[in-house]
C-alpha cells in the first residue's frame, strides 16, 4: 500500500487530497429542481438559475467550500444551480425576479453567514409567437420539400432523356446513389470504399465523447460521480481521445488532393480553378450546416420543454441566433470564441478554412510543377514547430490538461487553450499538410508502379495502428503528471500530429488494398451508405442528444449505463434524421452543381 501511495503521488499528484463522504455532505447541494409539471400546471412561476456564493462575514463553511472548489478536479462549489417554483416556495409581492430568486436561494439552500448573487437565470414564460426568422426557416424547408416532390415526380413519369438539373432533385435517384457502390469500376476509386467505414467509426466515437460531455451540463443527482470517474484511467479514452478527429482532417485533405491529381492527368489545372474549388466546397458544406444551425436558432427552443430546457437548450439557441452570420461565413470558431452554437461545428469551420489553404497550395504546386513531397514535408514539420512555439508563448495546453468538470460544464468558457488552439485552424494545420502529402505519395507510387498491397511493413503497421491509437490515448495517464510549461507545449505540438500520422498509415494501407480484418469490416456495404450520411450526422447529433436529455423533469443520475443508453438513442435518432436531410438537401445540391459543371 505504501508503494501504491508513492506511485499515485508521482503519477497523479492531483490525487494527493481526497475528501470523505462525511466532508462532502457538509457542502451545499450543487443542483436542485422543484416539481416543474405541478408548478407550471398551476400557473406558477418556475425559474432556474446559477448563483455565486460569498460570505456575509468570516465563515468556516465558505472556507471549506472554497478549499473544495480550488481543486480543479471538482465542480466549482461556489456556484449553486437551482430550479425553484418561486410562486410556491417563496410567495412574495417582490416584483424584481432576480432579487426574489436570490432571497429564495439564501432562505432554502444556504447556511447562515452565506449569501448568493445571481449569475444567470431563466424563467418559464408563455409560448412566444412565431417570429420572422422562424418563418424564414419554414419557407426554406417548404422550398426543399417542393423541389424534391417535383424532381421525384419528373423522374417517375419522364421519358428516357431527362433533364439532369430536375432529376438531381429526385429522391429515388438520390436513394440509389446513397446505397450504391462505386459504379464505374475504377480500381483507384473502389480502393477508397473503406474510408466511408472509417468515417462512421470516428463519428460514433465523437458522439460518445459528446454524450459524456453533455452530462456535465445537466442538473445532476450525483455530481460527485463525474468528479471521481474522470480520474479513472479508463476515462482517458475520452479525456485524451479528442485528437482522433484529426483523422477526419487527414482523410478530407487526402481525398481532395488525390482527386485533383487524378483530374490533372487529363487536363491542366492551376490557380484559375481556385474559385470553382472553393464554390464546390462551400456548396458541399453550407446547405446542411446552415439548415441545422438555422433550426437551432429558430425552432430548437420550441422543440421541447422542462425545468432545464430554457437554461440549456434555450441559452444555446440564443447563441445560434447571434452567431448565425458568422456560421454562414465559416468564421464562428474565430468570432466570440467563448460562445458556442452546436459545439461540433468548430470542425466545419476549420475544415473550410484549411480547405482554402489546401486548395491554394495544391493548385499552385500543379501550376508551378514544384516538388510537392519535399515542400509538404517541410510544411508539416514547420507547422508542428509553429504550434509548439505558440503553445509555449501563450501557455496553451492540450485537452488532456483542461478537460475538467467545470470547464466541460461551461464548454471551456474563458479557457484560451480551447478557444485559441483546439478549435482554431492552426491547431489542425499539421494534419492538413499530412493529408496533402499522403495524397501525393500515394499518387506517385501508383504512377511508378509500386505495389504496396504485399508490403509486410505496411501490413504490420496497418494491424498495429489501432493498438497504437489506444496506447497513445492511455499514455495520457502518465503525461498529465508533467505540467511544466515546456512539457505541456511540447505535448500540444506533437499530440495531434501523432494521431494524424497513425491515421495516415491506416489510410494508405486501406487504399492500397492491404488485407486485414479492419479493411474487411470497414468495407461492409451498410457502412458505405452510413458513411455518406456523415455530414448530416455530424451536424445533427448534438441537437438530438440535447433534446433527449434536456427535457428531463428530474435530476439526472449519471452512470456509465445511463450515458451508454443516451449514446445509443442519440446514434439511432441521428441516423434516422440524417437520412432525409441527406436525400432532400445535401445530395440534390451536390448533383445540381455537378450538372452545372458538366454542362
pLDDT bracket for residue 189 (50, 70, 90): low
* Spatial strand order in the sheet of 31-33: 31-33, 79-85, 46-55, 114-123
Percent of the chain residues topping a pLDDT of 90: 52
CA 556, CA 315: separation in Å to the nearest integer?
A: 19
Residues 44, 86 contacting (CB under 8 angstroms)? yes
pLDDT bracket for residue 182 (50, 70, 90): low
Query: Quick one: pLDDT at residue 185?
Result: 52
Residues 576, 245 contacting (CB under 8 angstroms)? no
Cβ-based neighbours of 401, under 8 Å, separated by 6 or more: 417, 480, 483, 488
Query: Quick one: pLDDT at residue 183?
Result: 47
Query: Quick one: pLDDT at residue 179?
Result: 86
Grid cell listed for 509:
494501407
Average pLDDT over every residue of 153-167? 85
Lowest mean pLDDT, pick from 48-52, 70-74, 235-239, 375-379: 235-239
Question: Which of left, alpha, beta for 535 (phi over 0: left; psi -120 to 50: alpha)?
Answer: alpha
Query: Quick one: pLDDT at residue 1?
Result: 36
pLDDT bracket for residue 389 (50, 70, 90): very high
Query: Quick one: pLDDT at residue 190?
Result: 66
CA 293, CA 287: separation in Å to the nearest integer?
A: 10
pLDDT bracket for residue 16 (50, 70, 90): very low
Residues 350, 334 contacting (CB under 8 angstroms)? no
Torsional sign, CA 547, 402, 253, 463:
negative
Lowest mean pLDDT, pick from 76-80, 109-113, 367-371, 418-422: 367-371
Average pLDDT over every residue of 392-415? 92
DSSP 8-state code for residue 553: S
Question: Which of left, alpha, beta for 412 (phi over 0: left; psi -120 to 50: alpha)?
Answer: left
Average pLDDT over every residue of 520-525? 81
CA 521, CA 506: separation in Å to the nearest integer?
A: 14
Closest CA to 516 of 445, 466, 441: 466
For 31, list phi and psi in degrees, rounded to 5: -130, 150
Cβ-based neighbours of 464, under 8 Å, separated by 6 or more: none
Q: In this model, does residue 98 exceed pLDDT 60?
A: yes
The more confident residue out of 215 and 447 is 215
Query: Quick one: pLDDT at residue 48?
Result: 92
Q: For 102-154, how does the pLDDT look when each residue is reduced to its tens digit (9 = 90+)?
A: 889 988 888 888 888 999 888 877 667 888 999 999 999 999 999 999 999 99
Q: In this model, does residue 158 exceed pLDDT 90?
A: no
Closest CA to 377 of 426, 436, 428: 436
Q: In this model, does residue 512 exceed pLDDT 90?
A: no
Q: In this model, does residue 11 exceed pLDDT 80?
A: no
Per residue, what are the HEC states of 487-507?
Answer: HHHHHHHHHHHHHHHHHHHHH
Alpha-carbon distance values, 301 to 345, 365, 545 (Å):
19, 48, 14
Closest CA to 498 of 438, 431, 550: 431
Query: Quick one: pLDDT at residue 269?
Result: 85
Q: In this model, does residue 8 exceed pLDDT 70?
A: no
83 SS3 class = strand
Query: Quick one: pLDDT at residue 191?
Result: 67
CA 152, CA 529: separation in Å to the nearest integer?
A: 20
Query: Quick one: pLDDT at residue 43?
Result: 86
Q: Where are the domains of the chain?
A: 2-123, 152-598
Alpha-carbon distance values, 7 to 11, 386, 596 (Å):
6, 35, 65
Query: Quick one: pLDDT at residue 177?
Result: 87
CB atoms within 10 A of CB 106: 18
Grid cell listed for 338:
467563448
Q: In this model, does residue 9 exceed pLDDT 50?
A: no
The more confident residue out of 446 and 174 is 174
Query: Quick one: pLDDT at residue 187?
Result: 61
Query: Quick one: pLDDT at residue 186?
Result: 57
Considering the chain, what is the average pLDDT of its residues?
Answer: 87
DSSP 8-state code for residue 243: G
Alpha-carbon distance values, 31 to 222, 437, 566 (Å):
9, 51, 21
Average pLDDT over every residue of 160-184? 83
Closest CA to 376 of 443, 423, 466, 331: 443
Lowest mean pLDDT, pick from 189-198, 209-218, 502-511: 189-198
Q: In this model, does residue 4 exceed pLDDT 70?
A: no
Give the chain's length. Answer: 599
Q: In this model, does residue 6 exceed pLDDT 60?
A: no
CA 408, CA 343: separation in Å to the nearest integer?
A: 11
Residues 539, 342 contacting (CB under 8 angstroms)? yes
Strands 79-85 and 31-33: parallel
Grid cell listed for 544:
438530438
For 273, list phi and psi in degrees, rounded to 5: -85, 0
Query: Quick one: pLDDT at residue 10?
Result: 34
Q: In this model, does residue 199 exceed pLDDT 70?
A: yes
**What is the DSSP secondary-structure string of 138-187?**
HHHHHHHHHHHHHHHHHHHH--SS--HHHHTT-HHHHHHHHH---TT--H
Q: In this model, does residue 12 exceed pLDDT 50?
A: no
Average pLDDT over every residue of 471-487? 85
CA 599, CA 597: separation in Å to the nearest integer?
A: 6
The more confident residue out of 122 and 581 is 581
Query: Quick one: pLDDT at residue 7?
Result: 35
Percent of the chain residues topping a pLDDT of 70: 94
Q: For 254-297, how does the pLDDT look when each residue is reduced to its tens digit (9 = 90+)?
A: 999 998 998 888 888 888 889 999 999 999 999 999 999 999 99
Average pLDDT over every residue of 36-64? 89
Sequence-ordered alpha helix ranges (H) in 448-533 = 456-474, 476-479, 485-511, 517-522, 525-531
Amino acid at each position: 500500500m505504501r508503494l501504491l501511495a508513492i506511485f499515485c503521488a508521482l503519477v497523479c499528484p492531483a490525487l494527493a487530497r481526497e475528501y470523505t463522504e462525511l466532508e462532502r455532505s457538509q457542502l451545499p447541494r450543487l443542483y436542485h429542481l422543484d416539481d416543474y409539471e405541478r408548478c407550471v400546471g398551476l400557473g406558477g412561476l418556475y425559474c432556474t438559475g446559477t448563483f455565486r456564493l460569498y460570505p456575509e462575514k468570516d465563515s468556516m463553511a465558505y472556507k471549506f467550500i472554497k478549499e473544495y472548489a480550488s481543486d480543479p478536479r471538482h465542480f466549482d462549489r461556489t456556484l449553486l444551480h437551482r430550479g425553484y417554483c418561486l410562486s410556491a416556495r417563496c410567495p412574495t409581492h417582490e416584483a424584481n425576479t432576480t432579487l426574489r430568486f436570490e432571497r429564495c436561494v439564501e432562505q432554502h439552500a444556504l447556511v447562515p453567514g452565506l449569501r448568493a448573487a445571481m449569475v444567470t437565470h431563466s424563467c418559464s414564460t408563455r409560448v412566444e409567437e412565431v417570429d420572422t426568422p422562424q418563418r424564414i426557416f419554414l419557407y426554406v424547408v417548404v422550398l426543399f420539400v417542393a423541389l424534391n416532390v417535383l424532381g421525384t415526380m419528373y423522374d417517375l413519369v419522364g421519358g428516357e432523356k431527362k433533364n439532369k438539373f430536375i432529376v438531381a432533385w429526385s429522391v429515388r435517384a438520390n436513394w440509389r446513389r446513397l446505397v450504391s457502390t462505386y459504379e464505374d469500376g475504377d480500381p483507384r476509386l473502389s480502393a477508397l470504399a473503406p474510408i466511408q467505414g472509417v468515417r462512421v467509426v470516428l463519428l460514433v466515437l465523437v458522439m460518445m465523447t459528446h454524450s459524456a460531455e453533455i452530462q456535465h451540463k445537466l442538473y445532476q443527482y450525483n455530481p460527485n460521480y463525474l468528479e471521481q470517474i474522470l480520474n479513472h484511467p479508463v476515462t482517458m479514452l475520452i479525456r485524451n481521445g479528442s485528437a482522433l478527429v484529426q483523422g477526419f482532417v487527414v482523410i478530407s485533405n487526402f481525398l481532395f488532393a488525390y482527386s485533383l491529381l487524378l483530374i490533372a492527368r487529363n487536363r491542366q489545372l492551376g490557380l484559375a480553378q481556385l474559385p470553382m474549388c472553393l464554390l464546390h466546397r462551400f456548396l458541399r458544406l453550407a446547405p446542411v450546416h446552415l439548415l441545422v444551425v438555422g433550426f437551432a436558432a429558430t425552432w430548437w427552443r420550441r422543440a421541447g420543454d422542462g425545468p432545464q430546457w430554457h437554461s440549456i437548450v434555450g441559452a444555446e439557441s440564443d447563441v445560434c441566433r447571434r452567431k448565425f452570420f458568422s456560421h454562414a461565413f465559416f468564421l464562428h470558431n474565430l468570432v466570440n470564441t467563448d460562445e458556442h452554437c452546436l459545439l461540433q461545428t468548430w470542425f466545419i469551420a476549420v475544415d473550410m478554412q484549411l480547405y482554402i489553404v489546401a486548395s491554394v497550395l495544391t493548385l499552385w504546386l500543379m501550376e508551378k510543377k514544384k516538388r510537392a513531397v519535399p515542400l509538404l514535408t517541410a510544411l508539416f514539420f514547420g507547422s508542428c514547430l509553429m504550434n509548439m512555439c505558440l503553445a509555449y508563448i501563450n501557455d496553451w495546453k492540450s485537452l488532456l490538461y483542461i478537460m475538467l468538470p467545470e470547464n466541460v460544464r461551461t464548454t471551456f468558457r474563458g479557457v484560451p487553450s480551447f478557444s485559441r488552439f483546439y478549435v482554431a485552424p492552426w491547431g489542425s494545420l499539421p494534419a492538413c499538410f499530412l493529408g496533402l502529402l499522403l495524397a501525393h505519395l500515394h499518387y506517385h507510387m501508383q504512377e511508378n508502379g509500386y505495389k504496396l498491397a504485399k508490403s509486410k511493413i505496411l501490413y504490420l503497421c496497418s494491424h498495429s495502428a489501432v493498438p497504437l491509437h489506444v496506447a497513445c490515448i492511455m499514455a495520457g495517464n502518465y503525461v498529465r503528471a508533467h505540467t511544466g510549461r515546456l512539457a505541456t507545449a511540447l505535448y500540444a505540438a506533437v499530440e495531434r500530429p501523432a494521431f494524424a500520422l497513425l491515421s495516415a498509415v491506416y489510410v494508405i494501407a486501406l487504399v492500397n488494398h492491404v488485407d486485414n480484418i479492419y479493411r474487411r469490416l470497414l468495407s461492409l456495404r451498410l457502412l458505405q451508405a452510413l458513411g455518406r450520411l456523415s455530414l448530416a450526422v455530424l451536424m445533427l447529433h448534438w441537437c438530438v442528444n440535447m433534446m433527449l436529455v434536456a427535457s428531463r423533469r428530474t435530476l439526472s443520475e449519471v452512470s456509465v449505463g445511463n450515458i451508454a443508453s443516451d449514446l445509443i438513442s442519440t446514434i439511432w435518432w441521428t441516423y434516422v434524421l440524417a437520412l432525409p436531410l441527406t436525400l432532400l438537401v445535401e445530395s440534390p445540391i451536390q448533383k445540381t452543381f455537378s450538372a452545372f459543371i458538366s454542362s
